[in-house]
Amino acid sequence: MKNNRQAVSPEQLLETFTASHDGAPSFSVKDAVDFVAAALKPGNDEEKKCLERDVELILEGRIDLFYRSGSDTCYNRAAFFKGTCFKIVPAKLEIKEGILFYGARFAPFCSDEVFPDEYLLRARGAKTRFQPVACPVQFGQVARIFQMLGRSAIIDCIVAESDDNYKALKQASSPEKACISLTAFNLESFFRKHSFSEGDALIATVEDWKCGQFSLEYVPKASLPGASEREAFLTDFEEGIIQSYEEYGAYLELADQIAHAYLCAFLAGKDLRKRPVLSLDEYPALMRDVAIHRDGPDWTLAPVDETAASEVFEEEEEDFHIHECTCGHDHGHDHEPESGTEPDSSGPKEKNPLRAEDLSASAGKIGSLDALLEDVNAPLDYTEIYAMILDDLVNGQESSEVFVSKLIDFMGVKFADDAQEAVFWNFIEDCWEDAAGRFNPVTEEPKTPLRTRLLELNLKRIERSRVLLEEYSSAEIPKEIVRRMKHFHAQLLNTLGLLNADSALPEGSEYDLLELRVGDIEDAWDVFEEQFN
């Protein structure tokens, strides 16, 4: 089997197989495995199981497919979303200026490899596209349009548009007041032709998922679906989101959660693809059973009961924090921008709560550990630090001071000033005391070898991130590398989170599966690293 793999890889064979099913909405995973097995000819049962697992891992990593490990069917996103219709309600500002910002409106329905300024928007039946234009705007005026991208994706989009945007966000007293430049599409003649007014809508249809191609159709306000249709759509949509969350947890980015929600609704017999009833701009104000979970590295749509516990600790609204590393290091516990199309005297009042930074001698952020870590561009977050503390406790380390000093050297960060460093020491010492108080050597014994392996992998991830940032200091890191780094980091965090829990690990076959999961992550990293050798 190894010799066959050297001749042709499972990835290449799966590429051939999926290409032959490109126009099909779905295909059988068994057929895919059989196709690969026919070429690689695995010998014994162990090799067959290994091959099946390899195929599943490859399918899970494909951004053009919907697949969850253990499923019998894999869905082609391009074919699934072909012809999908969704509603867009342009804001007052957009109608006035004759433009349409991309916001979060199109991202769930096209490949994330297509940059927003590459979207192809046309009027239905027209051949010419609406041209992208650069528009200066105060971020607070368009925050509502972007919020369903999720915090990190919002910042990534804004910073990717222009280097000046990054400077503007850093220099503004609050992100909402930053004057930035964003891509929009020139719909001036289209709006004028239809005498477009506030409340009217566009119905967008997915023409090509891979290329980000959409057609737009005008619908007057009076012809839009009524309250009963909106209620029915909202129920089915939120059931899809909750099902997606139950299957993937907080792993998916917010736009991908929405895409998966459409699939989950379809599988439940409640197809949303031809029901352009509720726009993503409108949805946050109408949420019932779902809320935006904002106390992690990225925003997540989660059932209300999942977010209730975390929101107990959200005593104040924090600013967006801008990051420079694109390998997944977002560590703020932040809140969404103020909703509303344009800030005015009749809209929601701007909230500027007193923060820890306002009463501190430190020039850096000290409001929370996550905010501080992000402010100094640390390559770690709380989950990883807590795992490192447990690893030290297992190995007999009794001094929190030794650990904190070692941690600072490992992170290689520069604090804004002595005051920020002192606060960091306090945060980590509190974490140490908490971990030491909960530490149980009996339950930790079976976790230790798995955690150690994951922390060694995390060290390799951090080293590779630093090399990439140095190599691409004057250029953009290839998107595929960034995507795979993010995917790998998410797998590490999810698995470390399981090991960080106080409860004992399961025994027998369930423990074997967890050990296999760690091995799969190690194998995936080795495959990723091969491209740099």
- Ordered by start, the domain boundaries in the chain are 2-79, 81-225, 369-530
Distance, CA of 147 to CA of 287 (rounded, Å): 14
Query: Tokens representing 278?
Result: 């509720």
Higher pLDDT, 346 or 233: 233
Give the pLDDT confidence score for residue 510 in this predicted structure. 64
Going by C-alpha positions, the residue among 225, 90, 224, 201 that lies closest to residue 144 is: 90
Give the pLDDT confidence score for residue 2 in this predicted structure. 46
Give the pLDDT confidence score for residue 150 in this predicted structure. 87
Question: Could you give the percent of the chain with pLDDT greater than 90?
Answer: 47
Residue 266 one-letter amino acid: F
Residue with tokens 């959409």: 214
Number of H helices, E strands in the chain: 22, 12
Give the pLDDT confidence score for residue 236 in this predicted structure. 97
Instruction: Give the pLDDT band of residue 151 (cuts 50, 70, 90).
Output: confident
Give the pLDDT confidence score for residue 61 in this predicted structure. 84
Q: Among the listed ranges 325-334, 362-371, 396-405, which one has the minimum average pLDDT value? A: 325-334
Question: How would you classify the pairing of strands 26-28 and 73-76?
Answer: antiparallel
Could you read off the pLDDT of 164-207 as tens digits, one per residue?
998 888 887 777 788 999 999 999 999 999 999 999 999 999 99
Highest mean pLDDT among 5-9, 105-109, 115-119, 496-500: 105-109
Secondary structure string (H, E, C) spanning 236-293: HHHHHHHHHHHHHCCCCCHHHHHHHHHHHHHHCCCCCCCCCCCCCCCHHHHCCCEEEE
For residues 369-378, average pLDDT: 88
Give the pLDDT confidence score for residue 87 in this predicted structure. 97
Distance, CA of 228 to CA of 456 (rounded, Å): 54
Contact indicator for 519, 454 with CB cutoff of 8 Å? no
**Sequence-ordered list of residues with C-beta below 8 angstroms from that of 46, at least 6 positions apart, any chain:** none
Higher pLDDT, 510 or 153: 153
Give the pLDDT confidence score for residue 405 in this predicted structure. 92
Give the pLDDT confidence score for residue 122 in this predicted structure. 97
Could you read off the pLDDT of 421-480 as tens digits, one per residue?
998 999 999 999 989 988 888 889 899 999 999 999 999 999 999 999 999 988 889 988
- The DSSP annotation for 4-56 comes to HHHHS-HHHHHHHHHHHTTTSSEEEHHHHHHHHHHHH---SHHHHHHHHHHHH
Q: Among the listed ranges 62-66, 101-105, 359-363, 403-407, which one has the minimum average pLDDT value? A: 359-363
Give the pLDDT confidence score for residue 239 in this predicted structure. 97
Question: Could you give the percent of the chain with pLDDT greater than 70?
Answer: 86
Could you read off the pLDDT of 505-532 as tens digits, one per residue?
767 666 777 788 888 889 989 999 988 8
Residue 167 one-letter amino acid: K
Give the pLDDT confidence score for residue 314 in this predicted structure. 35
Question: How would you classify the pairing of strands 99-101 and 179-186?
Answer: antiparallel
Could you read off the pLDDT of 496-505 as tens digits, one per residue?
888 888 777 7
Could you read off the pLDDT of 43-84 as tens digits, one per residue?
888 888 888 888 888 898 888 999 987 889 999 999 999 999
Going by C-alpha positions, the residue among 198, 462, 523 that lies closest to residue 342 is: 198
Could you read off the pLDDT of 329-345 as tens digits, one per residue?
333 333 333 333 433 43
